[in-house]
Amino acid sequence: MEMYTTETANTACWPALIESGYQLLGGGEASTLAPKLPHLGLADVLFLTSIMSIPRERRPWGIVTWMAEAFMLSRPALYNLSERVVERLLPSPVAGYPSTGSGHRLLEQSRAEKEAESKRNRLARTVLTAAFPGKMALRPMQQLLSEALDESRSIGWLSEVLSEAGQQAGEVLRKIDASPLGVVIGARDETFFNNVPILMLVDPVTSTILQIVAAPDRQADTWGITLLTAQDRGVILGGLIEDMARTYPKSLDEAGLEIDVQKDTWHVEEDGAQLQTDLERAALNATRQVMALEEKLRKEWDDQLFVQKYIPAVVKEAQLYDQHAAFSSAYAHLCDALEVVDWRSGEIRDPQTSAWFLADVLTLLEQIDHNRVQSWVRTLRRHQKELLTCLDWLAASLLPYEQEVAQTLPNPALRTQFMRGVARLWRLRQALINGHNHLRTLAQCDQDALTLAIGGCPILTKLAERLHQILDAACRASSMIENINGSLKGFLRNRRSFPNLETLHLYLNLFALWHNMRVYQRGKRQGKSPYQWAGIQTAHDDWLAPLGYPAV
């Protein structure tokens, strides 16, 4: 996939007249036109003013930044200096000098309009930056404007700025061409804010928000409309990653979509871990009850207490420990069956073997006589085929990749060793991302071994990176969209409430545009924004510029 690139302009070469004029500057003593800038001579001030007087659309791109660095001034100082020089040099209605009449009034009016526009632009950028990523509510924004810019603005004015920007953000998002993403395995999920459903569709590979809606409900037809709207914007859905919500299958029928679905395994493993903890807690409570009865019997023996309570308590205790032991063993096998790569050998799981393994584990779980376990297993049985869809996607992607590797490594044994080494390293890195720091030493050893095996070969290095990308794309969990939902809730909690559904939707537009255009500062995606990772071209790198508030 072709990644987004930014062209770097050459700011050292300008048109011949500008370059010649700059080379002739000789500094000199401080000019009365700029008495507070003693390092600028008269020629310097006139040169700066002449360049700044060129209409913006004809001015060479980047020259203002270059002049700010060359003459040791800030950009605002450049603009202010040129305006003061023009004001002093142009004719004005003073004694002994003819008045220019309407010309002077037009100049003053134009200057006032520019100042007002610049002021509103600065205020709006401050407000929107305080909202994203600042997470500020409206009243703290008022205090920020008062302290930082000495400006007093009402809650209504702040709300109007956010609403207008949200409407513009919606227009920008609708015009974004998502076709560079190609076929997308999208992740969908829903969250709530003040009982209002928020529906979200995300590309988990690039973390791009494809669709976000504040909906009146989360029924199947609403989800169907959301999916169709995303397709109208150029999103090509090749599959979906979702949890086990009952409305999801029907929503595909409502939208007329026939695509494969991967049920989120993270929720499955999380629910299993909680069930394991609850079984252990129940067993420990049974032990405490037995110990309490034994304490009573030691103080005073009671045949009736021994027969009617103590013996049943001991039987129940043994039964609970047996259930916990059986579930713990089967749960460990279940997590293993849902793996994409075996972290011990680096083997990439094939769909047939994993399907057999999963069916066998579910059979073991069904033998545990516990109501909650039985209910959980019934849910897994209902979605059994959809728990391993990611392996089918992975197998389809690996076919052309294996052919490409065979051209470089014709020996089957070497080819298998190379792919397993790369896949094992990928699996260990995923474990480190999820907080399993005890595997850090093992991951470093695998990294060193793989580097030694590749031996600096550029072809093998690219093939290793390509396999990591293929494994990343074979998503089996909706972790990415859960992370974005968690980030969104942090913003929504600070706002506390919205007047209506439309206002919330405008706020979500701003969140989606900010998220898609923000550059990651850390992690494996650092250095680029989601749009840049996706290869989606945008006219600006600054997310506020498309809203009509460019940086000056």
Domain-wise residue ranges, the chain: 16-92, 172-264+478-547, 265-387, 390-473
- The CATH number given to 172-264+478-547 is 3.30.420.10
- Rounded to the nearest 5°, which phi and psi values hold at 198? -120, 115
CB 111 within 8 A of CB 83: yes
d(CA 284, CA 282): 5
pLDDT of residue 100: 43
Which residue type, as a one-letter code, is found at position 186? G
Query: Is-contact 318 311, C-beta < 8 A?
Result: no
**Comparing 438 with 54, which gets the higher pLDDT?**
438
Segment 152-159 shows an average pLDDT of 91
Of the two residues 259 and 179, the one the predictor is more confident about is 259
Residue 545: burial class (beta carbons within 10 Å; 0-12, 13-18, 19+): middle
pLDDT digits (tens, 9 = 90+) for 87-105: 777 755 444 444 444 445 5
pTM score: 0.75
- pLDDT band of residue 434 (cuts 50, 70, 90) is confident
Q: Is residue 344's pLDDT more than 60?
A: yes
* pLDDT surpasses 70 at 5: no
Across 529-552, average pLDDT: 90
The pLDDT value recorded for residue 476 is 87
Q: How far apart are alpha carbons 406 and 339 in whole angstroms?
A: 25
pLDDT at 6: 40
Q: Taking all residues of the chain, what is their mean pLDDT, rounded to a whole number?
A: 88
Nearest to 49 by CA among 61, 40, 38: 40
Residue 159's pLDDT band, with cuts at 50, 70 and 90, is very high
pLDDT at 112: 66
Determine the distance from the C-alpha atom of residue 160 to the mean position of all C-alpha atoms in its chain, rounded to a whole number: 27
Cα angle for residues 512, 176, 208 (degrees, 5° grid): 40
Whole-angstrom distance, CA of residue 540 vs CA of residue 220: 37
Contact call for residues 39 and 91 (beta carbons, < 8 A): no
Which tokens go with 463?
Answer: 């093939």
- pLDDT score, position 109: 62
CA-to-CA distance for 168 and 509, rounded, in angstroms?
A: 9
Confidence of residue 518 (pLDDT cuts 50, 70, 90): very high
pLDDT for 18: 75
- Per-residue pLDDT reduced to its tens digit, 348-403: 999 999 999 999 999 999 999 999 999 999 999 999 999 999 999 999 999 999 99
Q: Output the CA angle 99-103-109, nearest 5 degrees.
A: 115
pLDDT at 11 over 70: no
